[in-house]
Structure 1
Amino acid sequence: MLGLDEYQQIVEAAPNMIWRSGLDAKCNYFNKTWLNFTGRQLEEEMGNGWTQGVHKDDLERCLKIYLDNFSAQKPFEMEYRLKCFDGEYRWINDRGVPFYDNDAKFLGFIGSCIDITEKIEGQILKELAQIDDLCQINSRQYAEKLIRQKLERTKNEGNISLTIINIDNFKRVNDRYGQNVSHAVLRKVSRAIQDNVRQSDICGRYDGEKFIVGLPDTDSREASNIAERIRQAVHSLRIKHSHGSFTVTASIGVCQITDEEFLDMLIDKVDQALLKNRGKDCVTVYNQQEAIALITVSS
């Protein structure tokens, strides 16, 4: 058995940041690792002093999780930003558990923390790569990835349709009204698309003024109905600018996909076929063979 001094040495030298609180829920111990991280003295952290280092945007949530679980004597886990000795805030994973004496009498909580900044920042970078910042919709790459995954899972078991939405005369809008207004158009159209598809559908910004929607378990007829709903929603938009407002329209191409192998080709071919054959403010439906044939004949 280890002696008390040995246990204390182990806790002090532990790579994790360790804290303890008493029956009043106030902290009465922090190990050397915690103090080295914060750059503060034990006396400064005692009681509620440690909360001074918690980021102001995380403090209320952090205290609620801690105090609610303390009252219930239940283990908890939370993440928050804590100020490091160099003045920078770093993300901390904090796990707390109640502890008891030999007679099962509740004595307080003990907690262990680790720095997870790299993990959190990696998640943020991943999310940034997945989301188109302007339109707050999936990026092209991420939308295509999700569609491929859906195709793989439903192979030979269901229909998946693809929709390409192109804002008509977008260049004129940009030339006439400028970038701020054209960006407003993109955001409004993106919102109209997302508001008129199902939760299971996969939306993304494809390129410039084009959007892509993958429609799982959907044949071309049902997909055309969804596309028509989107077309009407876009048509009803009013875009305001300094001298009034105007409307926009969209041309939409629909194609049912039967094979993941053709996904890249079909996206390109439906898009090109739509550009060649669109009548503005309309929905055009192709089957996979028609879409391929259209581009084969024209090439």
Structure 2
Amino acid sequence: MDLTTGEYQALVEFSPNMIWRSDADGKLNYFNKTWLAFTGRVPGQEQNEGWKERVHPEDLDSYLKVCREALNDQKPFSIQYRHKRHDGQWRWLHSQAAPLFDNKGEFAGYVGTCFDVTEQLEGERLKEHALTDSLTGIYKRRYFEERLEQEVERARRHKIGLSLALLDIDNFREVNQEFTQGAGNKVIKTVASIVKSNIRGHDIPCRVGGDEFGVILPHTQRKDAVHVAKRIREILESTTIMYERRQIKVTGSLAVVAFNNERDAGKLIQKARRLIFDSERAGGNVVKAA
């Protein structure tokens, strides 16, 4: 049995989500009880442009830009932004909207819904903080090992390419001894930046030790991973790091291994570390591959 208009109105009015509607010009003309309870305002305060007063100033321009672009194309849109709650707290809302069309097929405006995602985002931020190295902004060893295990299993199951690259900074202890720990930290950050800037968006860079970095390269054959490692080595060698008006030059020993049906991720890491040892024994600043 179809719902009546009154039943639809009741569902909207008492929905646990905040619901709004706009006209064809993009002006908001309806807010349900949940929205009004969240803001602590009455419909007249929210209608037309009034709702903008409660959007965080840093988010308003980007929100309006998304709305304008969607309105021009009469397409759905979604965005996350901060909105002031009735108690004065800024809350993160996830807003999504769909276009409305009348019986003649003419565009009639939007209907949208919002829900509070503040706790969800905070949880994600805390999880990201726990997995991310504070100095470099890339993942820590724990995430590296977990993710590599997942990628090894995926490569085995689907018979797809997977490569792993490791990088050790050559003579890093001497850098710390000569220039102090502050200089060592700057070297670490610079190397991390070089690594991040020379891999693809879906590759996974990690700091797996004090001066050791790893890059997981899904869907990548050995020769392509070697090309990436050589580029990183060359850029690192040509980079001059300035610290307190002094120049620091560092190089790296790199190893590249391709997945060859190893039993687990640990075997792949062991193979790469043996190559790192060979690289360092050869004087460093070289890429070894297997």
User: TM (normalized to structure 2)?
Assistant: 0.79
Per-residue displacement from partner, 1:197-245 (whole Å, max 9, x unpaired)? 56665432111110113455434x7755654443332222211122421
Residues 142-151 or 75-84, more deviating: 142-151
One-letter identity of the residue aligned with 1:249: T
- Which residue of structure 2 aligns with residue 291 of structure 1? none
The answer to whether the 8 Å contact 1:75/1:96 transfers is yes
The answer to whether the 8 Å contact 2:257/2:271 transfers is no
The count of aligned residue pairs is 286
> What is the distance in 1 between the residues matched to 2:148 and 2:139?
11
- Secondary structure of 1:261's match? coil
Is 2:83 the counterpart of 1:67?
Answer: no
- Which residue of structure 1 aligns with residue 284 of structure 2? 281
Q: 1:99 to 1:218 in 2, by over 3 A?
A: closer
1:164 to 163, 166, 185: 166
- Which residue of structure 2 aligns with residue 149 of structure 1? 150
> What is the distance in 2 between the residues matched to 1:273 and 1:105?
66
Per-residue displacement from partner, 1:68-89 (whole Å, max 9, x unpaired)? 3334443333322211122222
The answer to whether the 8 Å contact 2:226/2:289 transfers is no
- Which residue of structure 1 aligns with residue 253 of structure 2? 251
- Secondary structure of 1:11's match? helix
Is 2:16 the counterpart of 1:15?
Answer: yes
2:241 to 239, 242, 250: 239
One-letter identity of the residue aligned with 2:181: Q
The answer to whether the 8 Å contact 1:78/1:93 transfers is yes
Is 2:88 the counterpart of 1:87?
Answer: yes
One-letter identity of the residue aligned with 1:244: R
Q: 1:103 to 1:174 in 2, by over 3 A?
A: same
The answer to whether the 8 Å contact 1:148/1:260 transfers is no
Q: 1:285 to 1:3 in 2, by over 3 A?
A: closer
Residues 6-15 or 49-58, more deviating: 6-15
- Which residue of structure 2 aligns with residue 295 of structure 1? none
- Which residue of structure 1 aligns with residue 54 of structure 2? 53
Aligned runs of 1:287-298 on 2, under 5 Å? none
> What is the distance in 1 between the residues matched to 2:228 and 2:3?
69
- Which residue of structure 1 aligns with residue 195 of structure 2? 193
The answer to whether the 8 Å contact 2:276/2:288 transfers is no
Structure 2 spans left out of the alignment, 5+ residues: none
Q: 1:104 to 1:199 in 2, by over 3 A?
A: closer
> What is the distance in 2 between the residues matched to 1:273 and 1:108?
62
Give identity over the alignment, percent: 38
The answer to whether the 8 Å contact 1:140/1:205 transfers is yes
Q: 1:34 to 1:185 in 2, by over 3 A?
A: same
Structure 1 spans left out of the alignment, 5+ residues: 288-299
Q: 1:235 to 1:2 in 2, by over 3 A?
A: closer
- Secondary structure of 2:152's match? helix
Is 2:221 the counterpart of 1:218?
Answer: yes
Deviation of the 1:250 alpha carbon: 2.0
The answer to whether the 8 Å contact 1:204/1:211 transfers is yes
The answer to whether the 8 Å contact 2:233/2:286 transfers is yes
The answer to whether the 8 Å contact 1:201/1:214 transfers is yes
- Secondary structure of 1:212's match? strand
Is 2:192 the counterpart of 1:182?
Answer: no
> What is the distance in 1 between the residues matched to 2:131 and 2:138?
8
